[in-house]
């Protein structure tokens, strides 16, 4: 199993890292623009760090359909925030959620440590940016769909096999492009290019992704498949379901957890570590 290394920190198999979400978007599905303002976003980063986040993932474009956000606007939203967070929290691992190489270039210069390519390699040059700057890359499976789209009646012969094949191929391509193997994660990208059944199947069989040896990131926080599984719960009612899904993912060996509530996730993951007998639970997250 690969030891994950980001910004001089190591996360070994069995150890968990919490990635807190901070969106500089006016239309986020979760916070509806609460952290769109620069000061609000910076305050949210501070709160995430206080809550135990190891990584903060900064995004400038809503994942779902919505108003067009061109690269210049995305850069405007995230670059200065990355620079401010780097100055304010020198040891924090900073991730930026983007699929665009031109955005990746600017945020890498501003101090980012990880490029979170949620849309699965639609811009191959993003890996080249990560290699050039010596930073990490998330290789995700989004069903080969265009960014910010919701596919109609998408189907897979075996969704887990498709996820594993696609993400590991992206990861190996990233290594070939010069990205350090120990700085690459794979992500099944729940709900991206998947319906609820697909996301549940990936969750049940996450251990198969873990078995590839690549560190696995899961981003399940308050997602639609959690709400639908629980009878159609609204976004603000999905917290308990999120924590349960995190625990199941951690038990199967996932290493990084992208969440909206870092403090609650830290407690949940510390509990999993304790149940698994991994020494002092708080030392494992």
pLDDT tens sequence across 182-210: 999 999 999 999 999 999 999 999 999 99
Q: Decide if pLDDT at 282 tops 70.
A: no
Per-residue pLDDT tens over the stretch 78-136: 999 999 999 999 999 999 999 999 999 999 999 999 999 999 999 999 999 999 999 99
Asked, for residue 8, whether it belongs to a domain, the answer is no
Using only C-alpha atoms, what is the Rg of the chain?
Answer: 17
Query: What is the maximum alpha-carbon separation in the chain?
Result: 48
pLDDT beyond 90 at 179: yes
CATH code of 252's domain? 3.20.20.20
Structural domain contains residue 1: no
Sorted by sequence, the CB contacts under 8 Å of residue 16 that are 6+ apart come out as 250, 254, 255, 256, 257, 269, 272, 273, 284, 285
Is 102 inside any structural domain?
yes
Residue 154 lies in a domain: yes
Residues 6 or more apart whose Cβ sits within 8 Å of residue 113? 6, 7, 93, 94, 95, 135, 136
Asked if residue 259 belongs to a domain, the reply is yes
Asked whether residue 7 is assigned to any structural domain, the reply reads: no
Question: Smallest Cα–Cα separation from 68: which of 119, 121, 25?
Answer: 25
Residue 33 confidence (pLDDT): 79
Domain total of the chain = 1
Q: Is residue 148 part of a domain?
A: yes
Does 266 map to a domain?
yes
Provide the residue range defining the domain that includes 191. 16-276
d(CA 170, CA 173): 5
């Amino acid at each position: 199993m690969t030891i994950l290394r980001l910004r001089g920190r190591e996360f070994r198999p069995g150890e968990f890292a919490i990635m807190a979400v901070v969106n500089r978007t006016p239309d986020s599905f979760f916070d509806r623009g609460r952290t769109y303002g620069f000061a609000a976003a910076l305050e949210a980063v501070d709160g995430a760090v206080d809550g135990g986040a190891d990584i903060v993932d900064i995004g400038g474009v809503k994942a779902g359909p919505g108003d067009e956000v061109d690269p210049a606007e995305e850069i405007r939203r995230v670059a200065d925030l990355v620079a401010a967070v780097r100055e304010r929290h020198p040891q924090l691992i900073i991730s930026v959620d983007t699929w665009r190489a031109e955005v990746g270039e600017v945020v890498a210069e501003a101090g980012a440590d990880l490029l979170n390519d949620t849309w699965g390699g639609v811009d191959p040059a993003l890996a080249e940016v990560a290699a050039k700057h010596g930073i990490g890359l998330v290789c995700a499976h989004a069903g080969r769909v265009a960014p910010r789209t919701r596919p109609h009646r998408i189907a897979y012969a075996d969704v887990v096999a498709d996820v594993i094949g696609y993400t590991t191929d992206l990861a190996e391509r990233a290594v070939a492009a010069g990205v350090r193997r120990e700085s690459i994660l794979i992500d099944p990208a729940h709900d991206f290019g998947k319906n609820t059944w697909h996301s549940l199947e990936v969750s049940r069989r996450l251990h198969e992704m873990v078995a590839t040896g690549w560190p696995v990131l899961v981003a399940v926080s308050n997602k639609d498949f959690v709400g639908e599984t629980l009878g159609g719960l609204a976004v603000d009612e999905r917290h308990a379901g999120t924590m349960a899904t995190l625990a199941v993912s951690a038990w199967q060996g996932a290493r990084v957890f992208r969440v909206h509530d870092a403090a609650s996730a830290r407690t949940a993951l510390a509990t999993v570590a304790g149940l698994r007998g991994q020494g002092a639970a708080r030392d494992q997250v």
